[in-house]
Structure 1
Amino acid sequence: MKAKDLLGRHGEDLAVGYLETLGMLIVERNWRCSEGEIDVVALDGDVLVIAEVKTRRSLDYGHPFEAVGPDKLARLHRLGAAWCRDRELRMPLRRVDVIAVVDDGGGSPVLEHLKGVG
C-alpha cells in the first residue's frame, strides 16, 4: 500500500472512531459505485450521514476542507442518493459531513468536523 493510501486509511479510522464517540452508528465504509466512493456511511439518529474524510500530514498545501469544493459536494449528495437506491432504502433525512484530519505523525492528530455541508 502506498504511503498516501496508508495515511488516508489512518485518517478514516480516526474519523470512524470519532463519529462513534458522537453516538453515530457506522453502516459502511468505502462504498463504491460507478459515480465514485463514499468514505463513511453512518446513522446519526434517523439521519443518514455521508462522511467525506480528508487527511493531510500538514497544512503546507492547504487545509483538508479546501479539497471539498462545490463539484465534490454535489457528487457526495448524488452518491448518498445512489447508496439509498442500491440498498432500496428511503432516507428522507440525509446530510453530508466533512471530516479533516491533520496528522504529521509526531503528535496528536487534529480532527475537525463540519456537519451538513452544502
Structure 2
Amino acid sequence: MTTEITRDLVGKVYVVTGANSGIGFAAASNFASRGAEVVMICRNPDLGLEALDKIRRNSNNNDQELFTADFSSLTSVSRVAKEILDKYPRIDVLCNNAGGANGSRRMTAEGFETTFAVNHLAG
C-alpha cells in the first residue's frame, strides 16, 4: 500500500537541528518532500552537505540551506541563530533534534557539562 504525501508545507520555513542523520534527517527529508523550505543545522559540514544533497535528490525540492553549529557551544548557537534570523525573518517550525551523550564527563568552554549543554541549553 502506498500513501500519498501532500505538498502542504509550501511557503513554510522549517528549521531542523541535527539534520544530517537519524530523526533529524528523516524530518528534514519529509518536510522538504512536502514542499517546505528547510533550514538544516548540522555540526559537521561534510556530513551536512551529504545530507543536503540526498534530500535535494530525493525530494525534488531545492529549497534547503545548510548552516553549521556546535550545539555544545552557546556562542556557536547564538551565532547560527543570528545568521538564520538575518536571512529568514519568519520561522514557522523549529524541529530540535541535535543531541548526544558522551562516555566521559567533559565541560564546555562556558563551563557546562557537554551532554547537558547540547541536550538542554542549546535547544
* TM-score past 0.5 threshold: no
More strand by share: 1
User: Given the two structures, how large is their TM-score scaled by the length of structure 1?
Assistant: 0.33
Task: Give the number of the structure whose alpha-carbon radius of gyration is greater.
Answer: 2
* TM-score, normalization by structure 2: 0.32
